[in-house]
Copies of this chain bind each other. A is one copy, B any other.
Amino acid sequence: MTPPPSTIVPPVVSLAVRVLTLICLFISIIILTTNTKTFEFTDYSSYKIKFNDYEAYKYLLATTVIGLVYTLLQTVLSVLQVASGNRLGGDIRFHIDFFADKIISTLLATGAAASFGMTLELKENFDDYEMHTFKNKSNAAASLCLIAFVFGAISSTISAYSLPKRA
C-alpha cells in the first residue's frame, strides 16, 4: 500500500506556516544584527557593544540563519507543490522532512533559550539604564526566534502526522 501523495493538511496550510516562520526569522535577524549600543565618554573616546560580544547572541544568529535558509528551501518546495499539485521527492521526502523539521525546530528553541538566559544574566549583573534598549532588542530577537520555533514545531507536527503508514 503506497502512502497518500500529500501531507495530512492542505499544502497551502503548510506553506502559510512556513511563510510565518520565515517572517519571524527574518525580522529576528534584522533586529539582532543591527542591535548596538555606543557609550560616549567625556574624553571623546567611545565604546561600542554589539550582539557578537556575547556567545549566546552569536549562537542565536547561527540558529536563526540556519532556520531561515532551511525554511526558505521548504517554502520554495511548498510553492511548487501548491502551484503544480505534485509533491516533489516521493516517499523518502516524508522521512527527510520529519527529521529536518525536528532538528531545525529544536535548534530554534535552543537559540531562543540561550539568549533569554544571557539577557536575564545581563539584567542582573549589568543593570544600567543605558543598556536598557540593547537588552530589550536582544529579548525581541530571541522572542521572534521563539515564535519561529512554535511555527517550526507546527511544521514538525504536520510532517510527523504525514509520515507514511506503518506496515
The answer to whether A4 has its CB under 8 Å from any CB of chain B is: yes
> In the bound complex, do residue B166 and residue A3 qualify as a contact, i.e. CB atoms below 8 Å apart?
yes
> In the bound complex, do residue B166 and residue A8 qualify as a contact, i.e. CB atoms below 8 Å apart?
yes
The answer to whether A127 has its CB under 8 Å from any CB of chain B is: no
Nearest Cβ in chain B — how far from A143, in angstroms?
14
Nearest Cβ in chain B — how far from A146, in angstroms?
10
Nearest Cβ in chain B — how far from A134, in angstroms?
15
Q: Which residue of B lies closest to A99 (CB)?
A: B157
Q: Which residue of B lies closest to A53 (CB)?
A: B124
Q: Which residue of B lies closest to A105 (CB)?
A: B106
Known: A117-B114, A121-B118. A102 touches B165 (CB 8 A): no
The answer to whether A24 has its CB under 8 Å from any CB of chain B is: no
The answer to whether A68 has its CB under 8 Å from any CB of chain B is: no
The answer to whether A130 has its CB under 8 Å from any CB of chain B is: no
Interface set of A (CB-CB < 8 Å, partner B): 3-4, 8, 54-56, 59, 98-99, 102, 105-106, 109-118, 120-121, 124, 153, 156-157, 160-163, 165-166
